[in-house]
Amino acid sequence: MADLSDPSSVFGDLAGEIGRNVYVPDPVEGYKLGELVDFHIDRLKIKLIQNNGDVEDIVYVPHDDVLPAEDDITKDVDDSCSLMYLNEGTLLDNCRLRYARKQIYTYVANILISINPYEVIPGLYSNENINLYHGKSIGTLPPHIFAIADKAHRELKGNKNSQSIIVSGESGGGKTESQKHILRYLCDRWGAAAGSIEQRLLDANPILEAFGNAKTIRNNNSSRFGKFVEIHFNKEYNVSGGFVSHYLLEKSRICHQNPGERNYHIFYQLIAGVDDELAENLYLKSPEEFNYLSQNPKFFANSGTFSKIPIHRRLQQNYLTDDLIDDYINFKTLQKNLEEVGIDEVIQRNIFSIISGILHLGNVNFEDSDDFRGGCCIDSNSSEYLKISARLFGLDIEDFRRQLTSKVIQSKTNSKGTVIIVPLKPSEARAARDAFAKAIYTRLFDDIVAAINNSIPSTDSQFFNERILKNEQELYRCEALNVPEVEFVDNQDCIELFESRGVGLLDLLDEEAKIPRGSSVHFTEEVHRHHISNFRILPPRRSRLRGYRNMRDNEGFLIRHYAGAVCYRTFHFLEKNNDTLHVNLEMIITTSDNPYLKNLFFPTTVNMSSKIPRSNIRTKVHNSIASKFRSQLNSLLSKLKMTGTHFVRCIKPNSEMKPGKFEGAQILSQLKSSGMTSVLKLMHCGFPSRISFKELYTSYQFFLPENLKKLDPRFFGRFRSH
């Protein structure tokens, strides 16, 4: 077998086997199958072979680009480590063969690759399969997400240590569905005794998807927030509770979506599924009549459910289809699930009032004021929307009008300062309106997650490299095993580029927000100045894409990530990093007649008319997205490092989200960026299956004679191997 760490060894094997199967790189398919015809000093002559066996073409390829293929090109295996040749070509082709047979799961040692089928595969997640995988070791049955869940539970019980299953991949890879299948397996196998806990854990998914998922170009049901689901087990290792932590909801989506994308599902579900009486009280109309939805006003539906949506709420005559998403049906399910987690009908009406209020608020526009003091006023065409949003938020309309068109600042002319009301320009008022909408929705989302957690009794890439690749090779060194070093992309320095104190990108962005006239141009110039010698960062003119090469150096930068170079336009960075809400807009909530809305901002409310010391008045509620991201990510990594880890790598097979379509180059890129090809090389050279001395000793202890029971586990292991 060729030594993959030495390209000349691969060439030596191939040169001696004219006529054997090989792989050559291809920009579309990732790798193409060929037959070695001849070899030259600097290249190999390859005869490409089509899927039907016909000869396609003759190509000449550099030695190092040619990879050996299996002798039997129709053979696939459950675990890619079982292949004769372990390389990118065989890994990709094994996944290709299995996917064509609707076998979406493949192992690389104990890591599961999951390729999104974009269709329902009958029986794949049946109760029979849940029972089948119970207690079975990895490899004894075909690859499955249930096997990973079962392994995690067995190690929880055997090692007396918390376990994490890290589900990662591109948007559209199937992470959300994978997480649901893991949860269902654990609850079905070990949640029966927990009664309602099991159901509440399962009920949480549709709620989180309604308020936290949206259609993107790449995924019809994309999670727009990070999620860490904890499942708690009792002393008998049965489900006893759970907890959901969420990270960085994408707030900008509430007010703006890219072409072809939608806002959060809940906005469409509410319009599609609410009964006529409540719809009238909420002043609901068709999605295209709301600015926050007009970018893509189409419902997800089928012919039957689309006809159930009242005509005046569906001016569009066509709709989107997806086997797993239907706005009308999903809203009916959502209402039941909210009830199950303790959000009763009264609170639901308050929530739906807030959702509708946000939609109407988005239709409030501003124009320059004729007042001699300048500023802006509400556009006359928006007056009705202002009235409706104020009514739904439970606010006084004139007070709401004032707070949307002005802000409060505190001057420091004396020791106590003076509060000044400053009129806003139309652009500033629009920004304040959007900030208000985002603040309300974010707090609503936080509260819904808290309600889910209250209903359940409580008793990533660099991390993958560290846990799998670094630790694996360190283990070989400690055990004095002669395993060749396998190089992999270590992106620790890339992480430091973002997180270093003072000069990291996150700190530079926060610092720019603090200076009086901070700008995206100045921020970008500072990035280039501080990192002029850092190979990770380049000016946009170095991009391979023509559209980015036309950018000025102070308009963006390229970052060489582990998965490839990405160009960032910085024009909106300051705006998106700013999580600021003017204090007067926050304080107006204290006057709301909607007790639920008031409680979102002020669990213990104060009357706005009460005397507040001027020194305590804040001009802004200021936070940055970057600082929150850093804090939440560090908290998550701290939790993960204390657990045993299991990995599921979700792969998106094509850009069109079509079943059965396998785009090789796109899939190969994902396999590389997820570390799978590096793991394959490591497992080829190393030992993919192992057991600790203690585990080995314990498995034999009952059968050993008394004199051998006294042996040290490590000595017993070595004694047994001789």
Q: pLDDT: is 635 or 523 the higher one? A: 523
Which residues fall within 8 angstroms of residue 485, CB to CB, at 6 or more apart? Answer: 5, 473
Alpha carbons 709 and 701: distance in angstroms, whole number? 6
The reported pLDDT for the residue numbered 573 is 84
* pLDDT > 90? residue 720: no
The reported pLDDT for the residue numbered 603 is 82
70 confidence band (pLDDT: 50, 70, 90): very high
Q: Are 12 and 68 spatial neighbours (Cβ–Cβ below 8 Å)? A: no
Tokens for 662, please give them: 């396998």
27 confidence band (pLDDT: 50, 70, 90): very high
Count of domains observed in the chain: 4
133-148 pLDDT per residue, tens: 999 989 899 999 999 9
* pLDDT > 50? residue 11: no
Q: pLDDT: is 708 or 340 the higher one? A: 340
Residue at a domain's end among 562, 596, 622: 622
* pLDDT > 50? residue 523: yes
Go through 655-674 and write b for each residue having 16 or more CB atoms within 10 A of its CB, e for each that does not.
eebeeeebbbebbbbbbbbb
The reported pLDDT for the residue numbered 192 is 67
Same structural domain for residues 268 and 340? yes
Q: Give me the CATH number covering residue 402.
A: 1.20.120.720
- Stretch among 165-169, 629-633, 657-661 having the lowest mean pLDDT: 629-633
Measured in Å, how far apart are the chain's first and last C-alpha atoms?
27
| Domain annotation covers residue 313 | yes
What is the number of alpha carbons within 13 Å of residue 197 lying toward its C-beta? 24
Could you tell me the residue range of the domain that residue 603 belongs to? Answer: 362-457+580-622
Mean pLDDT, residues 453-481 taken together: 58
Same structural domain for residues 326 and 343? yes
Same structural domain for residues 375 and 342? no
Mean pLDDT, residues 1-24 taken together: 61
The reported pLDDT for the residue numbered 611 is 34
Same structural domain for residues 331 and 264? yes
Same structural domain for residues 320 and 385? no
The reported pLDDT for the residue numbered 287 is 97
Residue at a domain's end among 538, 554, 570: 554
- Stretch among 50-54, 117-121, 457-461 having the lowest mean pLDDT: 457-461
Q: pLDDT: is 247 or 16 the higher one? A: 247
* pLDDT > 70? residue 472: no
C-alpha distances in Å from residue 53, one per residue of 35, 73, 74, 93, 709? 11, 11, 11, 16, 60
184-197 pLDDT per residue, tens: 999 888 886 655 66
Mean pLDDT, residues 607-620 taken together: 37
Q: Which residue(s) pair with 624 in the sheet?
A: 578
- What is the pairing mode between strands 556-561 and 537-538? antiparallel
Q: Which residue(s) pair with 168 in the sheet?
A: 649
* pLDDT > 80? residue 587: yes
* pLDDT > 60? residue 114: yes
Same structural domain for residues 314 and 385? no
The reported pLDDT for the residue numbered 506 is 87
The reported pLDDT for the residue numbered 601 is 92
The reported pLDDT for the residue numbered 56 is 73
* pLDDT > 80? residue 579: no
| Domain annotation covers residue 426 | yes
94 confidence band (pLDDT: 50, 70, 90): very high
The reported pLDDT for the residue numbered 606 is 37
| Domain annotation covers residue 433 | yes
55 confidence band (pLDDT: 50, 70, 90): low
- Stretch among 165-169, 188-192, 500-504 having the lowest mean pLDDT: 188-192
Tokens for 186, please give them: 């654990």
| Domain annotation covers residue 19 | yes
The reported pLDDT for the residue numbered 483 is 57
The reported pLDDT for the residue numbered 254 is 95
- Stretch among 3-7, 451-455, 556-560 having the lowest mean pLDDT: 3-7
Mean pLDDT, residues 377-392 taken together: 96
SS3 label, residue 619: coil
| Domain annotation covers residue 688 | no
* pLDDT > 50? residue 617: no
Q: Give me the CATH number covering residue 58.
A: 2.30.30.360
SS3 label, residue 322: strand
Task: Determine what percent of the chain is predicted with pLDDT higher than 70.
Answer: 83
| Domain annotation covers residue 85 | no
The reported pLDDT for the residue numbered 478 is 63
* pLDDT > 60? residue 660: yes
The reported pLDDT for the residue numbered 7 is 44
Same structural domain for residues 600 and 512? no
372 confidence band (pLDDT: 50, 70, 90): confident
Same structural domain for residues 445 and 585? yes
Q: Give me the CATH number covering residue 521.
A: 1.20.58.530
Same structural domain for residues 273 and 317? yes
614 confidence band (pLDDT: 50, 70, 90): very low
Q: How many residues does the chain have?
A: 722
Mean pLDDT, residues 233-256 taken together: 88
- Stretch among 19-33, 224-238, 564-578, 608-622 having the lowest mean pLDDT: 608-622
Q: pLDDT: is 201 or 11 the higher one? A: 201
Alpha carbons 635 and 629: distance in angstroms, whole number? 10
pLDDT winner (highest mean) among 6-15, 224-233, 575-584, 706-715: 224-233
3 confidence band (pLDDT: 50, 70, 90): very low
Alpha carbons 484 and 686: distance in angstroms, whole number? 8
Q: Would you give the distance in Å from CA 34 to the centre of its chain? A: 38
Same structural domain for residues 326 and 370? no
- Stretch among 12-16, 202-206, 288-292, 594-598 having the lowest mean pLDDT: 12-16
* pLDDT > 90? residue 226: no
Which residues fall within 8 angstroms of residue 446, CB to CB, at 6 or more apart? Answer: 246, 600
- Stretch among 428-442, 583-597, 611-625 having the lowest mean pLDDT: 611-625
* pLDDT > 60? residue 468: no
Which helix (H) or strand (E) segment holds residue 357: the answer is: helix 345-361
Count other Cβ atoms within 10 Å, centred on residue 564: 11
Using a 10 angstrom Cβ sphere, with 0-12 exposed, 13-18 middle and 19 or more buried, the burial of residue 161 is exposed
366 confidence band (pLDDT: 50, 70, 90): very high
Residue at a domain's end among 309, 340, 359: 359
Mean pLDDT, residues 493-509 taken together: 87
- What is the pairing mode between strands 43-49 and 55-62? antiparallel
Q: Give me the CATH number covering residue 318.
A: 1.10.10.820
613 confidence band (pLDDT: 50, 70, 90): very low
Same structural domain for residues 355 and 389? no
| Domain annotation covers residue 79 | no
Same structural domain for residues 331 and 391? no
| Domain annotation covers residue 636 | no
Backbone angles phi, psi at 93, to 5 degrees: -70, -35
154-164 pLDDT per residue, tens: 999 988 889 99
Q: Are 411 and 352 spatial neighbours (Cβ–Cβ below 8 Å)? A: no
* pLDDT > 60? residue 467: no
Task: Report DSSP state, residue 302.
Answer: -
